[in-house]
Homo-oligomer: A and B are copies of this chain.
C-alpha cells in the first residue's frame, strides 16, 4: 500500500502541495471551500503527516533519549514513569536504551541517539565507563545532557543525585548505634562516583565514632556478576576477620550476603546485621527481610526530565545540581530487637 502524502491529496484535488499543507494547518490564506475539500480527503485517506520529514526539516526529533544500565533495576524502573510523565506533558517521547553496564554498549547507544538527532539525553552511566568522550560529544552537539543517579565529576552538566555520602553515613551510624563496631563494607564498581561516595560516608561514620577502618573487612564486589559477588562474600566469611554487620553497595550484594550467611548458620540480625542500597522489592521476600537505603527514584525521574526541558527551552542556561533525600528503610536484617530467624 502506498504511503499517503501531501502530494497524494494535492494530485487528487488538482491543487498544489503547499496549498494542501496550508489547508491542513488552517492557514488563513486558504479559501474555506478548498480547506474543506482537503480535510475531507485527508480524513478519507487516513493521511498521517510524516513526522520524519518534519523532523528532518526541524533538525530535531521530539524525542528524549534515556540511557540506563538496566531497565529492571528498581531505581530505573521507578524513575522511568516519572520521566515519561514529564516528557508526555511536553509532547515528547522517550527513547529508552539499556547499556547492560557495558561501556561499549553505552557508546553505541549514545551514537545511535545522536544519530537520530534526539532533543536531549538523560543518562545514568554504565559501571565500566571511564572514558567520557561520548558524553562530551553530546555536549559539543549542543544536546542537553542530564546525568542522574550515577555521577561523574569529569562532566559538567545538570545532575540529579542522591547524597550517597550521607546515606551511607546514616546507615553506618544506625549500625554503630546498635553497638556493632566491626562493620564490613562491600564496595561497588570502582570508578563509579556513587560507589566512592558511599564508601566515604561509611568511613566518615566510623571515624566520627573513633572506629578505625579495617581493610580486612572491606571488599570489592562488581555487583553485576553473580559469581564475583559470591566470591567476595565468601572471601569475607572465610577470612576469619571479625564482623558483626555488613553494609553493601547494592541490594544484590546484600541479598547474597544474607543468603550465604544463613547457609553458614549465622544468625541475622543477631550475629550479623545487613543493610543494602536501592530498596529492591525482593528485599521483602527474604527471611529476614533486608534493610536498605531507599532512593526517591520517581522524583529523580521527574527532576531529571524537567532539567532537560529547562535547558532545551533557554538559550543561556546554568547547569543545576539537584540532590534529593534518601531514606533508610529498616527491616529485620538490621533490627537489633528482632529475634534471630529460626
Show the binding face of A for B, using Cβ within 8 Å: 1, 3, 46, 48-53, 55-56, 59, 61, 63, 70-72, 77-78, 80-81, 84-85, 88, 93-98, 111-112, 114-117, 137, 140-142, 281-282, 284-285
Contact = CB atoms under 8 A, between A and B. Distances in A.
Given A52-B61, A52-B116, 9 more contacts: A1-B142, A3-B59, A46-B137, A46-B141, A49-B115, A52-B52, A88-B98, A284-B284, A284-B285
B1 A115 contact: no
A144 to B, nearest CB: 14
Contact of A50 (B56, B97, B111, B142): B56
Contacts of A72: 78, 81
Contact of A98 (B53, B55, B84, B141): B84
A210 to B, nearest CB: 38
Contact of A281 (B71, B80, B81, B281): B281
A93 B77 contact: no
Contact of A115 (B50, B56, B59, B78): B50
A248 to B, nearest CB: 20
Contacts of A61: 52, 116
B94 A95 contact: yes
Q: Which 3 A-B pairs have the closest CB atoms?
A: A281-B281, A284-B284, A51-B116
Question: Which of A53, A72, A112 is packed against the most chain B CB atoms within 10 Å?
Answer: A72
A278 to B, nearest CB: 13
